[in-house]
Amino acid sequence: MGMLLVTLFLPLLGFLAVLFINNDQSKGIKYTALGVSLLSFFASLFLYFGFDHTQSSFQFTMNAMWIPTLDAGFRVGVDGMSLLMVLLTTFITPIAILCSFGSIQKREKEYYAWMLLLQFGMLGVFVAMDTFLFYVFWELILIPMYFLIGIWGGKDRIYAAVKFFLYTLVGSLLMLVAIVWLGIYAQGLPGGHFTADLMKLREIAPTIPLEIQKWLFLAFALSFCIKVPLFPFHTWLPDAHVQAPTAGSVILAGVLLKMGTYGLIRFNLELFPQAMFEYATPIAWLAVVGIIYGALVAMVQTDIKKLVAYSSVSHLGFVVLGICSMTPEGLQGAIIQMVNHGLSTGMLFLCVGIIYERRHTREISEFGGITKVMPKFAVLFTIAMLASVGLPGLNGFVGEYLTLLGGFTSPFLNNHWLSIISATGVIFAAVYLLWMFQRVMFGTNDNPKNHGLHDLTASEYWQLIPITILIIWLGVYPKTFMVISEQSTQALVGKLETLKFGKTIYPLVEKKAQAQK
Amino acid sequence: MNKSMIDLIYLVPLLPLIGFFITGLFGKKQKSEALIGGIASAAVGGAFVVTALIFMTLVGHGSEERSHIVRLFTWMQAGSFTIDVSYQVDQLSILYTLIITGIGTLIHIYSIGYMHGDKSFPRFFAYLNLFIFMMLNLVLASNFLLTFLGWEGVGLCSYLLIGFWYERKFDGSFIVWTGDAAKKAFIVNRIGDFGVLVAMFLMYNQFHTLDYTAVNAQAAAGFQPGATLITTITLLLFLGCTGKSAQIPLGVWLPDAMAGPTPVSALIHAATMVTAGIFLIARNATMFALSPTTMAVVAGIGVATALTAALVGLVQNDIKKVLAYSTVSQLGFMFIALGVGAFTAGVFHVMTHAFFKALLFLGSGSVIHGMHEEQDIQKMGGLKKYMPITYKTFFIGTLAIAGIFPFAGFFSKDEILWNAFSQGHWVLWAVAVIAAFCTAFYMFRLLYLTFGGKERFDHHHIHPHESPKTMTFPLIVLAFLSVVGGFLGIPYALSIGGSIPNLLEHWLEPIFAPAMEILRRPEVHEVHAIEYGLMAASLMIAILGILLARSYYKNASDQPQAMANRFSGIYKLLWRKWMLDEVYQYFIVDVFYTISNGFLWKIFDVKIVDGVVNGTARSIASASELLRKIQSGIAQNYAIMMMVGIVAILVWLGLGT
């Protein structure tokens, strides 16, 4: 329990500490921020080692009453899925802070303070076991992100920041309505009272009449699908990414988008399974459209960052497809794909940032033959690109393959075409990424402005290397991480199957056992 | 002790992997080329030694005990889906492994000489080692997914090595840089991989496993020949094969893959990677045998590719492109064999082709090296006196590919032709014979234009010279193999009444036995007079091709141009490779690009989706703008509003009562 609080509150303390450092203490501010985020990372490692992955329940739990009349409490804890998200957050944040050292020149104190507050918010979202607490953290994130884009962003930063803010807010207000409705429903039950306790709501929610469940489902789903973003709610993403500073993009792609898919599992799937059965197919189709659509639109981009942004739409489509499959393969694939996407797309944004730093442009046509002047960078950029392409042996493949397999074999979706069409996404991924890569990195270095580019600095090197190691690790031996969420996924799928088919069917297990005899 | 020897199989892929890390991570700082090349070659050579020892162990076993599974660790697991990294050591995989590590070692040694002085020398060897690692995973895997790892992995290495000289231009249709060719290879292969991916979903959905043995056994037990599901699965797998093994319709990448350094062309794009498609079918012979439709498609695509590629080979003037098209054509022969159910013959041709095509490519590399990077055979001629070893070995390779007795190519090609004919596919046979005729013709055209006749190069700038020993040594070894390799698979008709055993067929027999059972193909041990006749006929046709080439090109210097003028129409079509690249570019690539750019992005995304978003925001803003006018700050207006409100309420109340 203690370590969870330490992990969670260190960034908040860091936020306050940074505020008390003098404005001109640039170094002090930077290293405080970096140090705090690293400490939070080390604290989260204790969670990893202390977590009992043979259990499906929430662990490191804590419950403190906050608003008694609403039965809203400071209830936190992690199950396998949320632990992975926590680890992803604590891993990505120090890297994002480190990559800002050179590029952020103005109002540094505010910047690093916002970064730490952002981390606090993200961690809160993943550990909250209380609907009100979740909502507070969910909205808390908007504020630092709004300022990060709006102050340190590119040319159209104000437009992008406002768009990001409003877009997300529209969804989350509906979620708030649903949260309140849930509490009131609990109150109306015999002997019940208003509650925001997620554990209690898990018991109660499935008893809600299906017609109402559907509305609640949609209210939550809209909020999450905007965050993911699921096609056609994605248009805030390219703008936000292009305008955000590199660290903002890294956090956005690395962690923020996963809040959407995390929410889909945590709330939509766990609270309203019957409604999920109704809506899984249409949502899965939107995911499939997003996979292809995102890839095709990424293909024709002339700005590298926008290309990577659209690729996120495509990649997150796999996650949503896996969630909708409601199979152990699909869900485990979706969870690991969230981590994978955070790593590989985060790294791609770092790479884009590295060349943007040097040239102050991201137009593909401005580049060519960069490999010659930046050979080290070329190697790491290649690995990030290939991970994103989904090359077996690197992390992206594991997630993509399992989500597609889940989608294909799902008894809930019961439609092979979803996965077959999605699988063409692997072709398009190769097209847009390889084509971009070839135009930027291969050929002769003709543009005189690119002649003097220097290779990776030590700092840049240390941003990319840790991610690279994980990319390979997850590709070769994903078990280290997948085992964490295995039990919670199995338990969830078991529940869903009982509800739908009247028994826990592990049809594949049985048949496989037979096949081996 | 024997069992533990087989367990050492993990060393075979591990050694090249270690080599990759050493050369990749530390190569850059190391000045000595000999050390880097030596480490890389030793890694593959070591793998070859281990493989040879395991092979000997297997030979010592009875033929029923030659299949072993060596499990290393669990790669992926979710729900009931489990995939292990585990290797299947059996007759088929060990044969492939011998070829890969054996020829791989030779080509590594050759590359030390060929890549001498290249500024990215260590990077080249790192990639080569990585390739060997991936290729070994492909053939040693005991399940589809691990093969798929190798499958895409060799594609990656092919990509990296085609684009190795990333600053160089390369002339091809819609291709400017070597990087374009690399990208094309990867993407075209990905289209094929899509087929493999979906096939794996179907198989897992049906059989709940992706292990080769289980899948094939269950397919044979649970399905009648002709079952739709099996046909679908095998056709999808075959789509992958057409990508990797450069068959119609996905063969367009291979000729452009020649943008890579020549040892790469020899190793990846001739001897090993491109035969992965044959491996995949041979590995799943049982399943393929269950689908007559797929078998017919395999044979049909094979023969069509064999002929069309051979025809294009007739007009090429780039020494490597001639060889590239001949590779495509020879791969077509292998698919003919598989398609008619002659799996052993297909694998046999993989082996002999690996010998002579690696030889020919390395020979061409030696020529290019000696000619200061010149690749146009119109600008060569008379090289035999400058490069005697290259010439002699190249000559042997040419005889082998042309199918002249007793060189390796004769036996394997003849085996394929005979199988096609004896199964009643005489059309296949006839077309294949035409392709074989073309092969003999264009190969000798190549030989004469390169080594014979007048010297057509500029003596002031080019001083042809023989290559160093590191390069000629592999040539000699491969030439030797190209001479004797065929004797491993002597057809029964030439075995002097069965007294010389067909070693290869005997070795592979247990692998293909279940497939043969499905195909109801009993072992035939009787000699047909017609077999001798056909053998003689195909030999005659090869000789005819050679003589024809000799008459045109022996001494002529301007012949390519003269031929081009004489057959200008067909020549143009062949020169542009049946216009396939153009068709793909205009009807697929451009269409996708135009729709994505013109509609999906600029209209649908920006105008429609974002239009709705921004429109909503704007309409709220303008509504507020209207409402704002009410808040004018003028007290009189507020008073009027208040009055109107009071009156409205009174009226409403009045109506209510």
Q: What is the pLDDT of residues B117-160, one digit of tens each?
A: 888 999 999 999 999 999 999 999 999 999 999 999 999 999 99
* B326 and B203 co-located in one domain: no
Rounded to an integer, what distance in angstroms lies between the CA atom of residue B512 and that of residue B92? 10
A148 touches A242 (CB < 8 A): no
- For A456: left if phi > 0, alpha if psi spans -120 to 50, otherwise beta; the answer is beta
pLDDT digits (tens, 9 = 90+) for A35-89: 999 999 999 999 999 999 888 889 998 888 888 888 888 999 999 999 999 999 9
In this structure, of A292-301, B291-300, B482-491, the range with the lowest mean pLDDT score is: B482-491
Strand partners of residue B82: B77
Partner A contacted by B476 (CB < 8 A): no
Interface mutation target, options A56, A170, A300, chain B, most CBs of B under 10 Å: A300
CA end-to-end distance (rounded Å), chain A: 45
* B261 and B371 co-located in one domain: no
* B482 and B348 co-located in one domain: yes
In this structure, of A135-144, A344-353, B57-66, B363-372, the range with the lowest mean pLDDT score is: B57-66
Rounded to an integer, what distance in angstroms lies between the CA atom of residue B420 and that of residue A228? 56
pLDDT in the model for residue A266: 93
Task: Give the count of beta carbons closer than 10 Å to the beta carbon of residue B636.
Answer: 8
Rounded to an integer, what distance in angstroms lies between the CA atom of residue B444 and that of residue B438? 10
pLDDT digits (tens, 9 = 90+) for B315-326: 888 999 999 999
CB-CB neighbors (< 8 A) of A293 in chain B = 600
Are A409 and B595 inside 8 Å of each other by CB? Answer: no
* B307 and B438 co-located in one domain: yes
* B295 and B283 co-located in one domain: no
Rounded to an integer, what distance in angstroms lies between the CA atom of residue A290 and that of residue A288? 5
Of B179, B596, B610, the CB nearest to A296: B596
Alpha-helix runs per DSSP H in B173-226: 178-207, 212-222
* B43 and B161 co-located in one domain: yes
* Alpha-carbon distance A115 to nearest alpha carbon in chain B (angstroms): 28
Q: Domains in chain B: how many in total?
A: 3
pLDDT in the model for residue A515: 46
* B299 and B282 co-located in one domain: no
pLDDT digits (tens, 9 = 90+) for B381-432: 888 889 999 999 999 999 999 999 889 999 999 999 999 998 888 899 999 9
Rounded to an integer, what distance in angstroms lies between the CA atom of residue A351 and that of residue B333? 46
**Confidence class for position B528, pLDDT limits 50, 70, 90:** confident
Partner A contacted by B575 (CB < 8 A): no
* B366 and B479 co-located in one domain: yes
Residues 115-154 of A with CB under 8 A from B: none
pLDDT digits (tens, 9 = 90+) for A325-363: 999 999 999 999 999 999 999 999 999 999 998 998 999
Q: What is the mean pLDDT of residues A358-384?
A: 92
Partner B contacted by A223 (CB < 8 A): no
CB neighbour list of residue B148: distance below 8 Å, 6 or more residues apart: A392, B193, B196, B197, B200
Residue B373: CA count within 13 A, CB half-sphere = 7
CB-CB neighbors (< 8 A) of B179 in chain A = 438, 441-443
Partner A contacted by B617 (CB < 8 A): yes
A299 touches B596 (CB < 8 A): yes
* Domain assignment of residue B241, yes or no: no
Share of chain B above pLDDT 70, in %: 97
* Alpha-carbon distance B36 to nearest alpha carbon in chain A (angstroms): 19
**Confidence class for position B632, pLDDT limits 50, 70, 90:** confident
Query: Does B294 score more than 50 pLDDT?
Result: yes
Query: Does B523 score more than 70 pLDDT?
Result: no
Is pTM beyond 0.90? Reply is yes
Q: Which of A462, A472, A492, A471 is nearest to A339 (CA)?
A: A471
Q: Are strands B81-89 and B68-78 parallel, antiparallel or unpaired?
A: antiparallel
Partner A contacted by B21 (CB < 8 A): no
Which residue in chain B has the smallest CA separation from A473?
B75
* B493 and B596 co-located in one domain: no
Q: What is the mean pLDDT of residues A263-274?
A: 93
Q: What is the mean pLDDT of chain A?
A: 91
Interface mutation target, options A299, A434, A455, chain B, most CBs of B under 10 Å: A434
- Token digits of residue A307: 């290309």
Domain span including residue B424? 291-577
Are B179 and A506 inside 8 Å of each other by CB? Answer: no
A406 touches A331 (CB < 8 A): yes
Name the range with the highest mean pLDDT among A210-224, B455-469, B581-595. A210-224
CB-CB neighbors (< 8 A) of A333 in chain B = 78
In this structure, of A230-244, A310-324, B139-153, B287-301, the range with the lowest mean pLDDT score is: A230-244
* Domain assignment of residue B311, yes or no: yes
* Alpha-carbon distance A408 to nearest alpha carbon in chain B (angstroms): 7
* Domain assignment of residue B451, yes or no: yes
Q: What is the mean pLDDT of residues B472-491?
A: 91
Q: Is B86 helix (H, G, I), strand (E, B) or coil?
A: strand
Q: B172: which DSSP letter? A: E
Q: What is the mean pLDDT of residues B499-522?
A: 86
pLDDT in the model for residue A69: 84
pLDDT in the model for residue A511: 46
* B216 and B331 co-located in one domain: no
Q: Which of B299, B530, B308, B519 is nearest to B427 (CA)?
A: B299
Tell me how far CA of residue A391 lies from CA of A336, A387, A428, B228, in angstroms. 15, 6, 13, 30
**Confidence class for position A516, pLDDT limits 50, 70, 90:** very low
Strand partners of residue A65: A73
DSSP for A138-158, please give it: HHHTHHHHHHHHHHHS-TTHH
Are B79 and A328 inside 8 Å of each other by CB? Answer: yes
Partner A contacted by B594 (CB < 8 A): no
Query: Does A14 score more than 90 pLDDT?
Result: yes
pLDDT digits (tens, 9 = 90+) for A177-227: 999 999 999 888 888 888 888 998 988 888 889 999 999 999 999 999 999
In this structure, of B56-65, B72-81, B438-447, the range with the lowest mean pLDDT score is: B56-65
CB-CB neighbors (< 8 A) of B599 in chain A = none
Q: B273: which DSSP letter? A: G
Rounded to an integer, what distance in angstroms lies between the CA atom of residue B360 and that of residue A447? 40
**Confidence class for position B557, pLDDT limits 50, 70, 90:** low
CB neighbour list of residue A233: distance below 8 Å, 6 or more residues apart: A167, A171, A222, A225, A226
pLDDT in the model for residue A512: 46
Q: What is the mean pLDDT of chain B?
A: 90
Rounded to an integer, what distance in angstroms lies between the CA atom of residue B564 and that of residue B263? 31
B101 touches B153 (CB < 8 A): no
Residues 536-555 of B with CB under 8 A from A: none
pLDDT in the model for residue A501: 84
* B281 and B320 co-located in one domain: no
Q: Degrees (nearest 5) of the Cα angle B23, B148, A292?
A: 110
Query: Does A7 score more than 80 pLDDT?
Result: yes
pLDDT in the model for residue A517: 42
pLDDT in the model for residue B352: 95
- Token digits of residue B6: 């087989």
CB-CB neighbors (< 8 A) of A477 in chain B = 73, 75
Rounded to an integer, what distance in angstroms lies between the CA atom of residue B299 and that of residue B332? 8
* Domain assignment of residue B169, yes or no: yes
Which residue in chain B has the smallest CA separation from A327?
B79
CB neighbour list of residue A157: distance below 8 Å, 6 or more residues apart: A149, A150, A151, A243, A244
Of B235, B268, B287, the last residue of a domain is B287
Rounded to an integer, what distance in angstroms lies between the CA atom of residue A41 and that of residue A403? 28
Partner A contacted by B597 (CB < 8 A): yes
Residue reference for tokens 């007009």 = B315
Partner A contacted by B586 (CB < 8 A): no
Alpha-helix runs per DSSP H in A264-361: 270-271, 273-299, 304-325, 328-359
Are B163 and A442 inside 8 Å of each other by CB? Answer: yes
Q: Is B32 helix (H, G, I), strand (E, B) or coil?
A: coil
- Token digits of residue A475: 């590709």
A70 touches A183 (CB < 8 A): yes
Partner B contacted by A371 (CB < 8 A): yes
* Domain assignment of residue B235, yes or no: no
Residue A491, amino acid: A
* Domain assignment of residue B236, yes or no: no
CB-CB neighbors (< 8 A) of B209 in chain A = 512, 515
pLDDT in the model for residue B494: 79
Are B153 and A392 inside 8 Å of each other by CB? Answer: yes
Of B532, B553, B577, the last residue of a domain is B577
Residue B180, amino acid: D
* Domain assignment of residue B239, yes or no: no
* B258 and B375 co-located in one domain: no
Q: What is the mean pLDDT of residues A140-169?
A: 91
**Confidence class for position B559, pLDDT limits 50, 70, 90:** low
DSSP count for chain B of H helices, then E strands: 28, 4
Q: Is A73 helix (H, G, I), strand (E, B) or coil?
A: strand
Of B238, B257, B287, the last residue of a domain is B287
B46 touches B15 (CB < 8 A): yes
Q: What is the mean pLDDT of residues B48-54?
A: 95
Task: Give the count of beta carbons closer than 10 Å to the beta carbon of residue B557.
Answer: 16
A241 touches A309 (CB < 8 A): yes
* Domain assignment of residue B382, yes or no: yes
Q: Which of A12, A134, A1 is nearest to A78 (CA)?
A: A1
**Confidence class for position A505, pLDDT limits 50, 70, 90:** low
Residues 128-157 of B with CB under 8 A from A: 145, 148-149, 152-153, 156
**Confidence class for position B46, pLDDT limits 50, 70, 90:** very high
Q: Which of A139, A161, A159 is nearest to A148 (CA)?
A: A161
Share of chain A above pLDDT 90, in %: 72
Q: Which of A75, A91, A79, A86 is nearest to A51 (CA)?
A: A79
Task: Give the count of beta carbons closer than 10 Å to the beta carbon of residue B649.
Answer: 10
Partner A contacted by B179 (CB < 8 A): yes
pLDDT in the model for residue A152: 92
Residue reference for tokens 């497939």 = B515
Higher-pLDDT residue of B610, B54: B54
Q: Phi and psi of A82, rounded to 5°? A: -70, -30
